[in-house]
Amino acid sequence: MKTTSVSGAALAAVSIFSSFAAAVQPLTVDGANFITKSSGNRFSIVGVDYQPGGSSGVTATSDPLSDPQACLRDAILLQRLGVNTIRVYNLIADINHDECASIFNAAGIYMILDVNNGFDNSYLDRSAPWTTYTNAYLTHVFSIIEAFAPYPNLLGFFSGNEVINQDSAVNAPAYIRAVTRDMKDYIAKNVARDIGVGYSAADVANLLSDTWEYLGCDLANSTSSKIDFFGLNDYEWCGDSSYMQSGYNVLVQQFGNTSIPVFFSEYGCNKVEPRTFTNVPVLYGDQMSVLSGGLVYEYSEDTNNYGLVNITTADEIHLLQDYGFLATQYAKLDENLLTSANSTATGQKPPTCDPSLITGAGFYNSWDLPPRPSGVDALISSGLSSANKGKTVSVTSTAMPATVYDYDGSQLNGLELTVLEEQDSNRPGLAGNYTPSTPTGTAAATSGSTGGSSSATRSSSGKASSTASQTAATSKGAAAPMFVSSGAATFGALLASLFLL
Ligand SMILES: *[C@@H]1O[C@H](CO)[C@@H](O)[C@H](O)[C@H]1NC(C)=O
Ligand SMILES: *[C@@H]1O[C@H](CO)[C@@H](O)[C@H](O)[C@H]1NC(C)=O
Ligand SMILES: *[C@@H]1O[C@H](CO)[C@@H](O)[C@H](O)[C@H]1NC(C)=O
Ligand SMILES: *[C@@H]1O[C@H](CO)[C@@H](O)[C@H](O)[C@H]1NC(C)=O
């Protein structure tokens, strides 16, 4: 809905991957569910769309994963909220994202990334996609793949966001499958692990089913053009609605046999305020278990008025009323229900592409995909020659770098990042109260580390030492006193204590 990125594709890269030793567990797609490979548990997205300062467009410096202080500030508040996934739009390939990606990794938060942004050669023009489906565009997409593929907490990419609408339902669908194909082929050839590629659909009810069918069916002569997951942007539930009134029941019927994970890539109608998120228990309840969760639009307040927090300056942030309502709803989620794999869902097989799947008049019903632009075969077979490839780095500071005010105006002290061990991802109630779960992998941290380290570390350098330092960091995190140790927050705490005296 509210971003400038028009469409696109992007994907993976990088063949080096020493980093699994100290990272969130990779997720795989198994039929209609996301699965945590190591445990076999289902993964449901408890997510928030993250674009601080960015919903009105992309600028050379607006990439939300490029400012480590801001990422630490926001990761602490998102972790505390209970989030396990963020979606980020409008990324720029050639700047450094290492610290931000590593901070979210340490927090146990996955990332779903849009490969398109609003710059030239960086999105598909929905009205004339053949004019923008070019070598330069795919070079952009592949460079986003290269930049982010090395991060273990990368959940997947969106090859397009809201490209298909009423006016583009004939021209755009084949191009989205083509971009998806090119991304997945690039990943298969140049990246050391599987990374899913999905599509995020606009909230246009009569196009939803055709879009999902068109992109998610099995095409014998282009198997890689099938999407791995389907996000839909959904603003149907406003205020105190219900399962029937909101139309959620229709979605469950529509996607009841889905063969790929389906989730809300944006949700949170703001026609009734404050947003109390009474849809959350329904979305994550047993009636809707066919969906894999969703992402609330959106983290920070902007002109369109969907924020959970208000960032007033780089080092001052105010929790809005919606943040508290969402936290209360998240806290009630049934973790067992969310992590139960369902063998019917994981066993679903995609239908074969066939015009009978498409029911709407005016939706493209042929799978005649455009061939790759000239030179792109070579890009895929050799990989980009000079790509900026990310790498995970140690997270050495965990204290909240900003002053945080609760909705009632009181200052929140003692906030810090809880560094999770590799077998854990974040969930509601975990931050500040963390006991590592039983490790599932052989590389898991055990204990007996040096302890007493004053800085938390969750490096994915793959070095043997990272396990020890990670353990040290975690035990420190768990036992740490609630104490603010930096910058404006300390100064604020000092002032507050002076007033108390
Ligand atoms: C799902 O599959 C079952 C069994 O094949 C079928 O009876 C049902 O109509 C399907 N539902 C939808 C919504 O396609
Ligand atoms: C967010 O902060 C700005 C600047 O202080 C203020 O003008 C605006 O009203 C605030 N928005 C909300 C929703 O509190
Ligand atoms: C299991 O998955 C099937 C198909 O996706 C769905 O119809 C059914 O409701 C699910 N069962 C549970 C208990 O979630
Ligand atoms: C691939 O199969 C689809 C559907 O059968 C067909 O429309 C398309 O022309 C085929 N493409 C090629 C390159 O053969």
Q: How far apart are the CA of 43 and the centre of ligand 3, in A?
A: 15
Q: What is the pLDDT of residues 224-252, one digit of tens each?
A: 999 999 999 999 999 999 999 999 999 99
How are beta strands 45-49 and 403-405 bridged, if at all?
Answer: unpaired
Give the DSSP H/E element, type plus range, for residue 161: strand 154-161
Q: How confident is the model at residue 494 (pLDDT cuts 50, 70, 90)?
A: very low
Residue 405 pLDDT exceeds 60: yes
| Three-state DSSP class for residue 423 | coil
The per-residue pLDDT for range 245-294, each reduced to its tens digit, is 999 999 999 999 999 999 999 999 999 999 999 999 999 999 999 999 99
Residue nearest to atom 14 of ligand 4 (CA): 221
266 among known catalytic residues: yes
3-state helix vs strand vs coil in the chain, percent to 5: 30, 15, 55
CATH top-level class of 30-382:
alpha beta
- What would the pLDDT profile of 427-446 be if each residue is shown by its tens digit? 999 987 898 887 654 433 33
- With beta carbons less than 8 A apart as the criterion, state whether 120 and 70 touch: no
Mean pLDDT score of the chain: 85
* pTM score of the predicted model: 0.85
From the CB of 371, is ligand 4 less than 6 Å away? no
pLDDT of residue 58: 60
The single-letter code of the amino acid at 329 is Q
Ligand 4: does its nearest atom lie under 6 Å from the Cβ of 221? yes
Is the pLDDT at 486 greater than 70? The verdict is no
Rg, C-alpha atoms of the chain: 22
Statement: residue 214 has pLDDT above 70: yes
Kindly report the backbone phi and psi dihedral angles of residue 451, in degrees, each rounded to the nearest multiple of 5, phi listed first: 65, 170
Protein residue with least CA distance to atom 7, ligand 2: 312
Of 288, 344, 346, 349, the one to substitute when testing ligand 3's pocket (max ligand atoms within 8 A of C-beta) is 344
366 Cα nearest atom in ligand 4: 7
66 C-beta neighbours (distance < 10 Å), count = 17
In the chain, what is the straight-line distance between the N-terminal and C-terminal CA atoms, in Å? 50
Say yes or no: CB of residue 368 within 6 Å of ligand 4.
yes
Q: Where are the chain's structural domains? A: 30-382
Looking at ligand 4, which residue's alpha carbon is closest to its atom 10? 368
Known catalytic residue at 416: no
**Model confidence at 480: pLDDT above 70:** no
- For residue 242 the two structure tokens come to 């219900």
Confidence check: pLDDT of 76 > 90: yes
Question: Quick check: 473 pLDDT over 70?
Answer: no
Cβ(211)–Cβ(164) under 8 Å?
yes
Residues 6 or more apart in contact with residue 267 via CB below 8 angstroms: 233, 234, 235, 237, 279, 283, 294, 295, 296, 297
Q: Whose alpha carbon is nearest atom 1 of ligand 1?
A: 257
The identity of residue 19, as a single letter, is S
What mean pLDDT do residues 117-132 have?
A: 95
Contact 450, 472 (CB under 8 A): yes
- What number is the average pLDDT over the span 32-49? 96
**Region 125-154 average pLDDT:** 97
The first and second tokens of residue 119, run together, are 């710059």
